[in-house]
């Protein structure tokens, strides 16, 4: 949920990440204009990107059936990219 700092009553809340029973969010990495959510979907790790200005989101696809993902070093709040780690038995 998000709201303006001056309007914190529940009537002003807006949904940012809708509930999905198939997705389990694990970590949220905030940036100035977007959020990166590390999540599990059907047991597999992944990332969703939420554009806070456009109110849109998308997931980063991974082609392997078994893999590991993790956040890497992301120190810049105003960055327009994020770094992550990926490994699989093939890579």
Please write the tens of the pLDDT for every residue from 50-75: 999 998 999 999 999 999 999 999 99
* pLDDT, averaged across the chain: 93
Tens of pLDDT along 33-56? 999 999 999 899 999 999 999 989
In the chain, what's the furthest Cα-to-Cα distance? 50
Give kind and range of the element (H or E) at residue 87.
Answer: strand 84-87
Helices (H) and strands (E) in the chain, counts: 0, 6
Contact assessment for residue 86 and residue 69, using Cβ atoms and an 8 Å cutoff: yes
């Amino acid at each position: 949920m998000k709201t303006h700092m001056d309007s914190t009553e529940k009537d002003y809340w807006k949904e940012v990440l809708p509930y999905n029973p198939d997705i389990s969010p694990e970590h949220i990495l905030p940036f100035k204009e977007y959020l990166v959510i590390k999540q599990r979907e059907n047991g597999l790790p992944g990332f969703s990107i939420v554009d806070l200005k456009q109110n849109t989101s998308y997931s980063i696809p991974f082609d392997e059936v078994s893999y590991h993902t993790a956040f890497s070093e992301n120190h810049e709040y105003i960055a327009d990219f994020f770094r992550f780690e990926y490994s699989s038995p093939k890579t």
